[in-house]
Structure 1
Amino acid sequence: MKKSLFAMAAILGLALTSCSSDDDNKNDNKSTFVLKVDDLKGDINDGVVTLDPTQTYTLTGGLVVKGGATLVIPAGTVIKSSATALSTSLFIAVERNAKININGTAAKPVVMTSGKATPAQSDWGGLIIAGNAKVNTGDNGTSEVGALSYGGNDNADSSGNINFLRISYTGSKYTNEKEYNGVSFFGVGSGTVVSDIYTFESGDDGIEFFGGAVNASNLVIINSYDDSLDFADGWQGTATNVYIKGVTKAGVEGSTNAKDPSTAVPMTNAKIINISIIKGDAAFLADEKAINYKEGGGKQAYTNLYVADGMPKDLTKISTDAGATANIAAGNFTISNYTFGASITVFDGVKLSGTTTGALGAGAGADLPTWANWTK
């Protein structure tokens, strides 16, 4: 009997120890946020919230990851915007000092899309990320949408990671000056890992960088109804492997600062490596050209650029402000190694160098490169 009692006590002790250990692990990631599959919205104020990839979530309002909290989205997770909620109320935002970890894979990307039966551009907002990196509009700006504070002095800041994200039917608008993009980076630092993003049917820009120093690679931007790739406000980053098709305004729009383009610091210093720009069908006019060198312009260096036939004859649209004029005179707008379609005959403003044929841009000229096959 004594042996039996001792055995029972030992088993009970192990069970209690196990429960205590489990509770400790849960406390490490504990969040007060209540996660609802069919009603995804609200503020994640603390801890780590991890979505379930076996579920399809319905975004019914703004989902905001507050400073100190983390949102983890595993491979294969699907988020659809509400079919009935106001389109401008539907967005996912990440504050300064918060993190988002989008952990998609080529076989199982994370999907953020419209929940309407017949989806269209501007059905919902998009993804907004704010960080502590330098922005030439000030250290405490407020994002155009989402009302997030952004900017600071930590160019190495990390907001987490985005890997293999398919984001569609974004870009809802409050006004012509206040609208969402597919993905917006506000003062995001280089510690943030960004690769393999596919934006489709964005009512505004596909991807935009507002200052900061984050780098990005493997970007597929299809059918944007403003600019496809946009950067401004002193962005100090590199975008590598960029495939753009369906250009409404500019394939790439780059500027230093809209309000004071001659003196704003840091000056935009953008490097775009391996990029293809294809106008798309007749609905897309590319009326601000392949590259719009805008508002101060800054330093913009393009390497291995492919621009398909059918684009407007002018390769570039050039701002006439003093900052842009000075930067062009200084040789700060360059393209090295390029292939241009026969429709392009005017190359104002840009300094061309290197090979003039054979550049394949993102990897396959006008065709989708193999690294982007996951988007099919």
Structure 2
Amino acid sequence: MKKTISTIFGLAAISLATLTTSCSSDDNKTEGPKSDFVVVRENLQGEIKSGEVILESGTYKLTGKLIVSNTAKLTIKPGVTIQATTVAKDKLEEVRYIAVAQGGQIDVQGTASSPVIMTSELQEPGAWGGLVLCGKARINKGTTAQAEVSNLTYGGTEDGDSSGSIKYLRIEYPGFSYSNTKEFNGLSFFGVGKGTTIDYVQVYESSDDGFEWFGGTVDAKHLVVSNKGDLLGDDLFDWTEGWIGNGENWYGIKTNAGNRGIEADNNSDNHKATPISFPNLKNITLIGTTTSIQGEAQGVKLRVGTKGKLDNVVLKGWATGFDVQHDESISYVGTDLLATNVKFEDVGVKAKGTATAVGGSTDVTKLFTEKADATGAGNGSGVPNWAAGWTKGL
């Protein structure tokens, strides 16, 4: 009899333990090493110092900066929304953003039917800081440097470094401004390595650049930038500091008086600094306007020593298609600075060149070859089929 009662109480204890576990919150459930970081849906902020944190479903309120530190990992499941709460413009220390430090990892697991969304309560450009990745690949600003808006270290010698994987992500209303010269972008790549996966990402209504590369070797496919609001954006795409990755299937559109489709630099302090920016891009559509608040309504601006090869490009609506500046970049025209199979639609001047000397106009027509039926990002100047379903406002 005693044995039977003991058995019954034992079974009851097991059942109670199972019930308690099954009813517990899964907001901080991890598939990898356990993290001490505590997820609070209404107050997501702080530093993930180790282990893996998983955001499972629903909406999380970003109430400050969220840093993924060395050895830590942030995994975001399909359909999750991260919403930055509103911060006063004079409270710079409270700006909301997400940053992955060197050695950290992010795994955005969105799908075409259920993308991950990073947005803000205040639905206007410049409402929050966006997403920052800092890797260990080479840059030409020094062996390492400090990211301009997070002060995290980036750069190094590990060109194959991985900051994780991002698929089917939409970033809305980023571009928080510290000053006239210091602003967040939508998605910033600081020395990010080629082991990182970037595929199917949209930046929607950013007050600064949509995507910007600061050196590194990361490749990026299926990118969308759309700026149609009255509040001005800057460039749709931007690279500097020696980016040598690949890009494929980019679609960018602006209907306001923002700036360029692509702004391409090597190093403004030393035009010959190595590694020299030299991305290879294909299947690109850039749609703009003939006006810009800075007077630079250019489809592609190539300057301060950048190289680059672009193929299958559609430029529509720009005052100038290609604008090449400075002797170093001009010297690469037709060889290491080349755009093949280009279609111009409603573009005022197809290409112009300006040498370093003031007023030094020069011929850069060898920069491009034309193709009347170029498809660009997939549908000429139309919205590409691959952007359907997971993007916004196209």
Q: Which is worse superposed, 72-81 or 28-37? A: 28-37
Matched, 1:110 2:116: yes
Deviation at 1:12, TM superposition (A): 9.6
Matches of 2:181 and 2:285, distance apart in 1 = 28
Query: Within 5 Å, which residues of 2 pair with 1:245-284?
Result: 245-246=253-254, 248-262=258-272, 264-279=273-288
- Aligned CA distance change for structure 1 residues 207 and 350 (closer, same or farther; 3 Å): farther
Within the candidate set 197, 201, 212, 1:193 is matched to 197
Q: Letter of the 1:139 partner, please give it.
A: T
Contact kept? 1:250, 1:286, Cα under 8 Å: no
Matches of 1:60 and 1:32, distance apart in 2 = 19
Q: Letter of the 1:94 partner, please give it.
A: V
Deviation at 1:324, TM superposition (A): 2.0
Q: Letter of the 1:357 partner, please give it.
A: A
- Aligned CA distance change for structure 1 residues 291 and 155 (closer, same or farther; 3 Å): same
Matches of 2:369 and 2:66, distance apart in 1 = 47
SS, match of residue 388 in structure 2: helix
Deviation at 1:34, TM superposition (A): 1.8
Matches of 1:280 and 1:72, distance apart in 2 = 38
- Aligned CA distance change for structure 1 residues 269 and 179 (closer, same or farther; 3 Å): same
Deviation at 1:52, TM superposition (A): 2.6
Q: What is aligned with 1:359?
A: 374
Which digits, 9 at most, give the CA deviation of each residue in 1:108-130, with x for residues without a partner?
A: 111111112xx111011110000
Query: Within 5 Å, which residues of 2 pair with 1:22-41?
Result: 28-41=32-45
SS, match of residue 269 in structure 1: coil
Q: What is aligned with 1:78?
A: 81
Contact kept? 2:191, 2:217, Cα under 8 Å: yes
- Aligned CA distance change for structure 1 residues 361 and 233 (closer, same or farther; 3 Å): same
Matches of 1:84 and 1:231, distance apart in 2 = 29
Matched, 1:211 2:215: yes
- Aligned CA distance change for structure 1 residues 350 and 68 (closer, same or farther; 3 Å): farther
Deviation at 1:81, TM superposition (A): 1.1
Q: What is aligned with 1:326?
A: 331
Q: Letter of the 2:382 partner, please give it.
A: D
When the two structures are superposed, what TM-score results if normalisation uses the length of structure 1?
0.88
Which portions of structure 1, spanning 4 or more consecutive aligned residues, are displaced by more than 6 angstroms? Answer: 5-15, 281-286
Q: What is aligned with 2:355?
A: none
Which runs of 5 or more residues in structure 1 are unaligned?
Answer: none
Deviation at 1:358, TM superposition (A): 0.2
Matched, 1:243 2:251: yes
Query: Within 5 Å, which residues of 2 pair with 1:120-131?
Result: 120-131=124-135
- Aligned CA distance change for structure 1 residues 26 and 42 (closer, same or farther; 3 Å): closer
Q: What is aligned with 1:61?
A: 64
Within the candidate set 224, 234, 241, 1:226 is matched to 234
Deviation at 1:343, TM superposition (A): 3.0
Which digits, 9 at most, give the CA deviation of each residue in 1:218-256, with x for residues without a partner?
A: 001111711110111111111100001007211011111
Which digits, 9 at most, give the CA deviation of each residue in 1:286-332, with x for residues without a partner?
A: 724111102112x2111000011x310x3222222x4223323x722
Matched, 1:158 2:167: no
Q: Letter of the 2:287 partner, please give it.
A: I
Contact kept? 1:66, 1:98, Cα under 8 Å: yes
**Matched-pair identity in %:** 34
Deviation at 1:11, TM superposition (A): 6.3
SS, match of residue 202 in structure 1: coil
Deviation at 1:333, TM superposition (A): 1.2
Aligned residues: 364
Deviation at 1:13, TM superposition (A): 12
Deviation at 1:270, TM superposition (A): 0.6
Q: Letter of the 2:244 partner, please give it.
A: Q
SS, match of residue 332 in structure 2: helix
- Aligned CA distance change for structure 1 residues 259 and 282 (closer, same or farther; 3 Å): closer
Q: What is aligned with 1:300?
A: 308
Matches of 2:385 and 2:295, distance apart in 1 = 25
SS, match of residue 311 in structure 2: strand
SS, match of residue 323 in structure 1: helix
Matches of 2:295 and 2:248, distance apart in 1 = 22
Deviation at 1:345, TM superposition (A): 3.4
- Aligned CA distance change for structure 1 residues 92 and 5 (closer, same or farther; 3 Å): same
- Aligned CA distance change for structure 1 residues 286 and 78 (closer, same or farther; 3 Å): farther
Q: Letter of the 1:272 partner, please give it.
A: L
SS, match of residue 189 in structure 2: strand
SS, match of residue 244 in structure 2: coil
When the two structures are superposed, what TM-score results if normalisation uses the length of structure 2?
0.85
Within the candidate set 164, 170, 173, 1:169 is matched to 173
Q: Which is worse superposed, 343-352 or 40-49? A: 343-352
Q: What is aligned with 2:152?
A: 148
Q: What is aligned with 1:373?
A: 388
Q: Letter of the 2:329 partner, please give it.
A: A
